[in-house]
Amino acid sequence: MIAVENISKKYSGQTALAPTTLTLASGQTTVLIGPSGCGKSTLLRLLIGLIQPDSGTVTIDGEGLTAQTVEKQRHKVGYVIQEGGLFPHLTAMQNIALLARFLGRSESSVQQRIEELSRLVQLPADALSRYPSGLSGGQRQRVGLMRALMLDPPLLLLDEPLGALDPITRSELQSELKEIFARLEKTVVLVTHDMGEAAYFGDTIALMRGGAIIQTGTLEDLLQRPAEKYVTDFIRAQRSPLPPMPEAQGL
C-alpha cells in the first residue's frame, strides 16, 4: 500500500500541490486527471522521489520515502513517461537492462527477464537491437514499459504514457496495458487529461484542479455524486460522441 499524507509543493511561492492526502490500494489502478498545471504530474514525481515535498510524507509498504531511503525505494517503483523517455544513444535492450546491470544482476537473469517482458508487451525481437530513433512511437512506449518493469516493482507510475501516440496506436496500447495491469496485479498510478482513458483504466479516479484533489471515487461517483459543479463541468467538456459510421455497402 502507498500512503500520501499531507504532502505539498511550491515553486517560487506558487502552489503546485496543496496539502494532499491519498491512499493507493494495492493491486488497483488510480488515475490522476485534470487540466494542465493542476498538480497531477507534481504528485507523481513526489511519489517516486524525483522532487522533495515541502511538507508531508510518502510511505511505500510501510517505509517512508526520504532523502536517506529514496534510492532503495525507487527500486520498488517503475516509471513511464511519454515516448518512454529512452536514452537515444542506447539500444532498446541497453535501455531496458540499464538499471539491472548497474545493480549487478547476472547477465543470464537479465536476458531471461528481457525475453519475458518482450513476450508480455509483444515487442518484436528485432526491435531490441534498434536505437530509439529506429522504433515506432508504440514500440518506444513498449520499451519504456519494459524498462519500468525490469526489476518487477510493486508500484508502477505512468505520466501521460499514451499522449503522444496516434489514435489507432493509442487504442491498441490502451487495451494491452489494461490486460498487463490485470495480469501483473501491480499497484498503478496513471496520469492523463482524458476522461475516457481515466474511465477505461481507473478503479479509482482522482480529479484535480489548482493543485488540489477535488474528488476521488469511481467513475459512477463522479457522474452521479459530483462533489461540486466543476466535476460535472469537467466531464461534460470532454464528451465527444463518435460520428455516425457510414453504412457498409456490398457486404
What string of pLDDT tens digits covers the 251 residues of the chain?
A: 789 999 999 999 999 999 999 998 889 999 999 998 899 999 999 999 999 999 999 998 888 888 888 888 888 899 998 777 899 999 999 999 999 999 999 999 999 999 999 999 999 999 999 999 999 999 999 999 999 999 999 899 999 888 778 888 888 889 999 999 989 989 999 999 888 899 999 999 999 999 999 999 999 999 999 999 999 999 888 765 434 444 444 33
pLDDT for position 244:
46
Cβ-contact 80, 35 below 8 angstroms = no
Give the pLDDT score at 135: 95
| Domains parsed from the chain with CATH numbers | 2-76+154-237 (3.40.50.300), 87-152 (no CATH)
Q: Which residue has the cell 500500500?
A: 1
For residue 3, the cross-strand partners are 23, 59
- Nine-digit cell at 126? 528485432
Distance set, CA 215 to CA 13, 219, 227, 243 (Å)? 25, 11, 6, 31
Is there a contact between 32 and 48 (Cβ–Cβ < 8 Å)? no
Q: Which residue intervals of the chain are DSSP H helices?
A: 40-48, 70-74, 92-102, 107-121, 137-149, 167-184, 195-201, 219-224, 229-237
Q: What are phi and psi of 112, to 5 degrees?
A: -65, -45
> Are 231 and 222 within 8 A, CB to CB?
yes
pLDDT at 1: 75
Q: What share of the chain is helix, strand, coil (3-state, %, to 5)?
A: 40, 25, 35
- DSSP codes of every residue in 114-127: HHHHHHHHT--GGG
- CB 76 within 8 Å of CB 60: yes
Residues 227 and 242: their CA atoms lie apart, in Å, by 28
Which pLDDT score is estimated for 239?
A: 61
Contact 58, 3 (CB under 8 A): yes
